[in-house]
């Protein structure tokens, strides 16, 4: 595992905790096979114990890579879509692009990709905070969610 892969793997837990603070008892899957078994997303959360809206998160160590991943995130079915990156990798160009926000919107229709920053304390403990709130994309994903639940167990849940 490279240092980048290790950082991105470690980030799953704080990003999950961040979503747990904002959702109602979500079921959270890491490396979820979504939307089909042959594709994976870094993190997927289904609100209301697996019966609510689907949130997906693409986690990158570098902010610039996370911003580049927005195009890919736009193609993944989910009511809420997020990118996450380590705050200490945010360069001026990426910061400007995030402030501008234009790239976070789809070319048509409602929705906005949300942004989560991962922060590191002095003791190298990781935390995560929402810096741009995601807005809801349209779509009914009940069948896909049921299919996921039938083939995998959540990594974090409240049962």
* Integer Cα distance of 101 and 115 in angstroms: 10
Nearer to another protein, 39 or 136 (CB): 136
Please list every residue from 74 through 103 that binds another protein, using CB under 8 A: none
Q: Give phi and psi for 131, each to the nearest 5.
A: -110, -25
Q: How far is the CB of 82 from another protein (least distance, A)?
A: 19
Which tokens sit at 143?
């069948």
Among residues 2, 96, 121, 140, the one that binds another protein under rule CB under 8 A: 140
- The owner of tokens 């976070």 is 104
**Is 127 near another protein (CB under 8 A)?**
no
Site mask, another protein, residues 41-60, x = CB under 8 A?
A: -------xxxxxx-------
**Is 125 near another protein (CB under 8 A)?**
no
What does the CA dihedral 34, 4, 103, 126 come to, rounded to 10 degrees?
A: 90
* Integer Cα distance of 136 and 80 in angstroms: 5
Which tokens sit at 36?
């089909």
Nearer to another protein, 39 or 48 (CB): 48
Nearer to another protein, 53 or 58 (CB): 53
* Integer Cα distance of 142 and 150 in angstroms: 12
Largest CA distance in the chain: 44
The one segment of 7-15, 20-28, 68-76, 121-129 that binds another protein by CB under 8 A: 20-28
**Is 137 near another protein (CB under 8 A)?**
no
Give the footprint of another protein on this chain (CB under 8 A): 21, 24-25, 48-53, 136, 138-140, 142, 157-159
């Amino acid at each position: 595992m490279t240092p980048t892969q290790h950082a991105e793997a470690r980030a799953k837990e704080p990003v999950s905790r961040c979503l747990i603070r904002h959702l109602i008892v979500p079921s959270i899957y890491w490396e979820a096979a979504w939307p089909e078994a042959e594709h994976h997303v870094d993190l997927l959360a289904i609100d209301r114990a697996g019966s609510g809206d689907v949130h997906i998160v693409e986690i990158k160590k570098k902010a610039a890579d996370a911003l580049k991943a927005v195009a890919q995130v736009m193609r993944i079915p989910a009511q809420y879509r997020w990118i996450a990156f380590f705050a200490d990798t945010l360069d001026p160009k990426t910061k400007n692009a995030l402030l501008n926000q234009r790239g976070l919107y789809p070319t048509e229709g409602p929705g906005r990709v949300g942004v989560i920053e991962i922060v590191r304390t002095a003791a190298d403990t990781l935390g995560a905070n929402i810096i741009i709130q995601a807005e809801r994309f349209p779509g009914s994903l009940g069948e896909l969610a049921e299919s996921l639940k039938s083939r995998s167990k959540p990594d974090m849940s409240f049962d």
